[in-house]
Amino acid sequence: MSTTSTYRVTGMTCGHCVAAVTEELFGLPGVQGVDVDLASGRVEVVSAEPLDDDAVMVAVQEAGYEVMA
Amino acid sequence: MSTTSTYRVTGMTCGHCVAAVTEELFGLPGVQGVDVDLASGRVEVVSAEPLDDDAVMVAVQEAGYEVMA
């Protein structure tokens, strides 16, 4: 079983940004998949267990971007 | 002695893009310094000898961007 969580991330402008966010999110425990749509900023994260939204926010900030509330 | 060559590169949107272009240009023989201004796309390359503009164009394309004619 898995959980899909969706976020909106601002500030990504190119494929490098997508890669940076993806890499950080894969560093979170239990994350199995990450899908980022650059145009909309929509980020879907598939995980074994429900994600800690604060941890997601911090990971996105580590990459240099922000999760919209 | 060194030569400074200036180019205009289009398509860079963020610091990752700047890093990608900088890295490719440092891969050219004789390049000693690279300075990129993201806002304007202005790229200055300092080299031991005058650069081959075609080689610069190819390096920028390798990074995923274009040199304006």
Residue A38 CB coordination number (10 Å): 14
In order along chain B (69 residues), what is the average pLDDT of each group of 10 residues?
Answer: 95 96 97 97 96 96 95
**Mean pLDDT across A15-26:** 97
Strand order across the A31-37 sheet: A31-37, A42-47, A3-10, A66-67
A9: confidence class by pLDDT, cuts 50, 70, 90: very high
**Mean pLDDT across A7-16:** 97
The reply to whether the predicted model has a pTM over 0.80 is yes
Q: Which of B62, B49, B52 is nearest to B21 (CA)?
A: B62
Q: Crossing angle for the helix pair B53-63 and B15-26, nearest 10 degrees? A: 140
Task: Write the ipTM.
Answer: 0.74
Chain A segment 2-31 residues within 8 A of B by beta carbon are: 13-17, 19-20
Partners of A17 on chain B (C-beta within 8 Å) are 14, 16
Distance to chain A for B17, nearest Cα, Å:
7
Partners of B16 on chain A (C-beta within 8 Å) are 14, 16-17, 19-20
pLDDT digits 0-9 by tens, A49-59: 999 999 999 99
Distance to chain A for B22, nearest Cα, Å:
14
Cα gap A66→A27, rounded to integer Å: 17
